[in-house]
Amino acid sequence: MPRAQEQRCSSGPTSWTTARRSRSTAVGRRGWVSRRRLRRASSRSRSGSKADSAVAAVTAGPRPPRVVRSSSKGHRKSVLGWALLITVVLAWAFTFRPTQLGGPATFIVVSGDSMEPTLSDGDLVVLRAHDAYAVGDIATFTVPDGEPGAGALVIHRLVGVEGDAFVPQGDNRDQTDDWRPMGADVKGTLWLHVPRGGDYLMRLIHPPLMAALAGGLATTWFLLRSPRSTRAEGGDEN
């Protein structure tokens, strides 16, 4: 009887120790399972990040070359400027180019009052040559050889014909001239009249004004130059 009691008494502590070890093992297992789940979750997260990065890289693709262009507004201004300049040059070449340069125009400055009130002293006259001339034309002619003032340029109105020659007379004169120019002596008839234009032209031919005019033309050419488009290809940006 005492042994049985002793056995029952001894079985109590053993049972408690076993239970404690079981609880410890269970806690340990739960802890091991938790760490394993954490590892799996972390692995899945890293895999997802790598996949997202790969998709983003494939979607983005290679970077296209960068293109930097000048503004369209500035380009339009440049084109219009050049078009205007070309138009002016062509108009000058076909209309106002002097005969000395192979053009159709002759420029003279009126001197004196013999053509008043039609033409005044200091006016600029542009002449155009023709194959034939008629009575009533205001013409510039060279005084024929052998006549007074031979070689001089005169601008008078042709008022008649005498043989093969013209009879000139100034609008401000009561009598005809003594000169009898032939058709070959006539340089051209009045095409354009600029009052006081001769005075302005004579002022412009002074060296300082010519230098200023040349500088203005050079500046205009510089401003009308077309800006070139700048292109930059490839390259990684830092």
Higher pLDDT, 6 or 161: 161
Q: Are residue 120 and residue 187 in the same domain, yes or no?
A: yes
Tens of pLDDT along 1-48?
A: 444 444 444 444 444 444 444 444 444 444 444 556 656 666 665 555
pLDDT at 189 over 90: yes
Q: Are residue 39 and residue 113 in the same domain, yes or no?
A: no
Q: Are residue 48 and residue 115 in the same domain, yes or no?
A: no
pLDDT of residue 206: 66
Is residue 163 a part of any domain in this protein? yes
Instruction: Return the sign of the alpha-carbon dihedral for residues 161, 163, 166, 172.
Output: negative
Q: Are residue 36 and residue 114 in the same domain, yes or no?
A: no
Q: Are residue 53 and residue 112 in the same domain, yes or no?
A: no
Identify which of 99, 102, 124 has the alpha carbon closest to the alpha carbon of residue 111: 124
Is residue 156 a part of any domain in this protein? yes
Identify which of 103, 73, 76 has the alpha carbon closest to the alpha carbon of residue 89: 103
pTM: 0.53
Tens of pLDDT along 55-105?
A: 455 455 556 666 555 566 667 778 888 888 899 888 888 887 887 788 888
* CATH code at position 108: 2.10.109.10
Number of structural domains (the chain) is 2
Identify which of 199, 219, 53, 50 has the alpha carbon closest to the alpha carbon of residue 124: 199
Identify which of 99, 77, 118, 36 has the alpha carbon closest to the alpha carbon of residue 226: 77
pLDDT of residue 59: 53
Give me the domain span that covers residue 54: 13-58
Is residue 124 a part of any domain in this protein? yes
pLDDT of residue 159: 97
